[in-house]
């Protein structure tokens, strides 16, 4: 009997992919991601790739050869983005590039986020309360408050979002970064019309809390094991 293949709704391809690859990550891959995330949270920047590998090896007692062997898979999966021998995005959530959204944990450095789905998932993935600050696609300021269970407060209250479908040739971090928050449903409709009704998943304000719980929760819980292999982030 053949298996039933269920099509992934447009806009959720990246979520389904990340959940699948996160479950397949090896201990060495998880160690690299944990060390990199800890450094980004603690210092606000990332070392060179060579330094990251040496630090991970020393901290977790994993041979450097095993860590380097994971790099092709981590890059192909979208869990690690590397340019010029530096890590520039982690777990398809965090990036060293400047974006319109940042996550602040306590009084630490602001961490740039790869789009709205990353904003919904990151506090859950890190099991840490935080505040997302930034601007929507039409430059309206926004603020999300979250704890380890996810987003519980949003401003503006009518906040909506759009998750784009993956396009041919796009990397997973590029898909994540293409998502947008909009200040309300009217702004969402106007943005969609302006962009030629792109394929993807619009989330109206009335469904925001459901999306934050279901989509952000699913991705955050899937990625959490990738960031939990160090004693803590302090």
For strands 180-182 and 160-164, give the pairing: antiparallel
What SS3 state is found at 199? coil
Give mean pLDDT, residues 204-227: 94
Q: How many CB atoms lie within 10 A of CB 47?
A: 16
- Whether the full predicted model's pTM is greater than 0.75, yes or no, is yes
Q: How many CB atoms lie within 10 A of CB 209?
A: 13
- ∠ CA(170), CA(178), CA(195), 5° rounding? 105
Q: Phi-psi region for residue 160, left (φ > 0), alpha (ψ -120 to 50) or beta?
A: beta
Query: For position 228, what pLDDT does the model report?
Result: 75
Tokens 């997973």: give the residue: 172
The DSSP string of 137-154 is TTS-EEEEEEETTEEEEE
Give mean pLDDT, residues 11-15: 93
- ∠ CA(225), CA(227), CA(228), 5° rounding? 70
Whether residue 116 is preceded by a cis peptide bond, meaning omega within 30 degrees of 0, is no
CA-closest candidate to residue 95, choices 75, 74, 77, 110: 110
- ∠ CA(11), CA(41), CA(159), 5° rounding? 40
pLDDT band (50, 70, 90) for residue 5: very low
Q: Phi-psi region for residue 218, left (φ > 0), alpha (ψ -120 to 50) or beta?
A: alpha
Query: For position 230, what pLDDT does the model report?
Result: 57
CA-closest candidate to residue 110, choices 119, 122, 101, 123: 101
Token pair of 46 as six digits: 């990332």
Q: How many CB atoms lie within 10 A of CB 167?
A: 12
pLDDT(9) > 90: no
Give mean pLDDT, residues 101-111: 86
Give mean pLDDT, residues 155-183: 94
Average pLDDT, the chain: 90
């Amino acid at each position: 009997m053949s298996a039933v293949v269920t099509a992934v709704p447009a806009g959720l391809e990246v979520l389904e992919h990340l959940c699948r690859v996160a479950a397949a990550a090896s201990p060495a891959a998880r160690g690299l991601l944990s060390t990199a995330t800890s450094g980004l949270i603690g210092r606000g920047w990332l070392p060179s790739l060579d330094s990251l590998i040496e630090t991970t090896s020393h901290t977790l007692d994993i041979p450097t050869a095993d860590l380097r062997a994971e790099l092709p898979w981590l890059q192909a999966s979208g869990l690690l983005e590397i340019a010029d021998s530096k890590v520039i995005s982690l777990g398809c959530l965090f990036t060293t590039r400047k974006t319109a959204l940042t996550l602040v944990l306590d009084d630490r450095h602001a961490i740039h986020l790869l789009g709205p789905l990353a904003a919904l998932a990151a506090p859950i993935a890190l099991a840490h309360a935080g505040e997302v600050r930034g601007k929507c696609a039409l430059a309206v300021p926004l603020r999300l408050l979250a704890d380890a269970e996810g987003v519980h407060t949003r401003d503006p209250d009518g906040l909506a979002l759009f998750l784009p479908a993956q396009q041919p040739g796009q990397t997973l971090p590029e898909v994540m970064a293409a998502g947008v928050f909009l200040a309300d449903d009217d702004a969402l409709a106007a943005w969609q019309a302006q962009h030629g009704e792109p394929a993807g998943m619009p989330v109206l304000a009335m469904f925001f809390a459901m999306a934050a719980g279901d989509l952000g929760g699913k991705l955050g819980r899937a990625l959490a094991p990738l960031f939990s292999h160090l004693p803590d982030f302090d």
